Amino acid sequence: MPFITRRRLLGAAAALPLAGPALAAFPEQPVRVIVPWNPGGLADILIRALAPAMGQALGQPVVVENRAGANGAVGTQAVARAPADGHTLILGNAETHAINPLIYPKLAYNPVTEFTPVTAFASGPFALITRPGLGTETLEAFLDLARRQPGRVSFASWGIGSTSHLAMEGLARQARLEMLHVPFTGAAPAATALIAGQVDCMFLNAGPAEAAARDGRPRILGIGATERVPQLPAAPTLKELGLPVEAANWFGLLGPAGLPAPVAARIGAAVAEGLKSAQVQEVFRAQVALPLTQTPAEMEQFLTADRGRRGSVLRDLNIRLE
């Protein structure tokens, strides 16, 4: 994913026409960010940390509203129908803007034509974590158990077609495993079931996985990142262990189609400014989230590439949901 400096982002914004009425009037009221999932997940935690700093940069409060349902589709559709004035944004990720269009034939929004990319602001690697008492302290031991018991080792996810589901299917495909999928309605109930021993393993955001594994009962076997993360220096990447599985999600802001370019640039500049906050950085570190900034054009290119990557796995799985 391409990175840009704050100076470059602000320079790009300055190059846009600033005299237009859209920018002169923006923001006229609080900016609302719709989070299309339940409270308490990683996306919700990150944007709630970032929102006050964004609001300070914009001169208006940034209000976070949870509107969950259908793997993020309910809240996302609502933003597609909102006025394109910058006062209503969606917190999007791979599920809302890459996966949902491929698994919902009757999806009520078009992620390409009905949204204006603004910026990604974070990425979060996943950790492969196993339940207490499973008896597999290494990835090799886990893979051996799964191969000896095809179809019996269970894994949790936060929904059919979710990033956690696809990450495990990607691992299973590479390692030639047959496993039992147990979908939940969110990351929190899935992690709770794993800690309680009701499911054997899952891909969980690395921050919550690190917190769950502190007592040594659940175990982190590997991280689905390209390199080790500073908060988990002892946890190897899956690539190091011979399975080049990249398991992660990204989080970004998009507006409705037709969002004026100067408004998008101003929001992106507010995000870049907010990411400099010490309080925001501390929350991101605790959640093992990596801060990002992008121009709208860079985000659009990234979304196109991400849809292609996710689509190859989904075609093999042949997932279709109503």
Q: Is 6-124+248-317 in CATH node 3.40.190.150? A: yes
What's the pTM value of the predicted model, to 2 decimals?
Answer: 0.85
Cα distances (angstroms) measured from residue 159 to each of 121, 155, 190, 285: 23, 11, 9, 26
pLDDT, mean of each 10-residue run, the chain (322 residues): 39 41 77 92 94 97 92 90 97 92 87 96 96 95 97 94 91 94 90 96 94 90 92 92 91 97 96 97 94 93 90 77 68
Question: For residue 121, what pLDDT is reported?
Answer: 97
Structural domain spans, the chain: 6-124+248-317, 126-223
Nearest to 49 by CA among 64, 36, 37, 34: 64
Q: Note whether 273 and 57 are within 8 A (CB).
A: yes
Question: What dihedral angle (degrees, nearest 10) is formed by the CA atoms of 305, 310, 312, 315?
Answer: -140
Could you give the CA distance from residue 48 to residue 280 in angstroms, rounded to a whole number? 9
Q: 230: Cβ–Cβ under 8 A, 6 or more apart, which residues? A: none
Could you give the CA distance from residue 41 to residue 68 in angstroms, rounded to a whole number? 11
Question: For residue 8, what pLDDT is reported?
Answer: 39
Same fold, 6-124+248-317 and 126-223: yes
The owner of tokens 């979908």 is: 183
**Does a cis peptide bond (omega within 30 degrees of 0) precede residue 27?**
yes
CATH architecture observed for domain 126-223? 3-Layer(aba) Sandwich (3.40)
Question: For residue 23, what pLDDT is reported?
Answer: 57
